[in-house]
Amino acid sequence: MTQTSSNWNTWLLAIRPRTLPAAAAGVIMGSALAWRDGYFRWDAFLVCLLVALLLQIGSNLANDVFDFERGTDTAERMGPTRVTQAGLLTPSQVKYGMAVVFGLAGLLGLYLAWIGGPVIIVMGAAAILSAIAYTGGPFPLGHYGLGDVFVFLFFGIAAVAGTYYIQARFVSAAAWWMTIPPGLIRRHVGARCWPQRASPRGWSRASAFSSGASTARAAWNRVRPRAGARPCWCCSWPGSY
């Protein structure tokens, strides 16, 4: 394996491709509603999708490096490899990559602000700050049980309603309702997986650990059918047309 190939595989590991569909889901749902209501724009959809993917990648890199620096990711950690903890990339390299990714997201966000107005700049800045603060900074949200709230806000409300707003310049009732499934599913994916994958040192404060892995799995089993039924209910609701 060449050095270039090895570096590429390391960065591919760092960005965690398996997490990207969750970032795309809300944008696709919001754009599908905009298409149904006659407001769909290809340019807005594609840029929203790119921004969502970049924000997810940046969040993954931030999580990788800040959990290592905080001592949460240690040799005892279970689950997928984290590149900083494994020594595959240095903290400065990961932080540089994170800055590049968030910078690209910000530049693309300016185009969305040109379409949707200044509120999009506020949403974008909040998304970047929350992605960093999830495990970084003096008060990491994910370590104090607040991560779930922000996951719901950005994977649900911002992704679906924000995408719809950029294309339609308002948010329909159906779009508001459709923010619930991706927000709930993404929140409970984390609750279901983290107790099995994190290091013991990182368990104490995340909300999924306050009641244990069995309770987190039970919550996941409850939310799946409800979240799955919500899109069908919304699309059949007369007030959504």
- pTM for the structure as a whole: 0.78
Where exactly are the structural domains of the chain?
A: 8-240
User: Do 132 and 78 contact (CB within 8 A), yes or no?
Assistant: no
| Whole-angstrom distance, CA of residue 146 vs CA of residue 187 | 11
Contacts of residue 85, Cβ cutoff 8 Å, sequence gap at least 6: 64, 67, 68, 73, 74, 75, 77
User: Do 174 and 224 contact (CB within 8 A), yes or no?
Assistant: no
| Whole-angstrom distance, CA of residue 84 vs CA of residue 90 | 6
Q: What is the pLDDT of residue 181?
A: 80
- pLDDT tens for the chain, 241 residues long, are 566 656 888 999 999 998 899 889 999 999 999 999 999 999 999 999 999 999 999 999 998 999 888 766 666 666 678 889 888 899 999 999 999 999 999 999 999 999 999 999 999 999 999 888 887 777 677 666 666 777 777 778 888 999 999 999 999 999 998 888 876 776 555 544 444 445 455 444 444 444 444 544 554 455 445 444 444 444 444 444 3
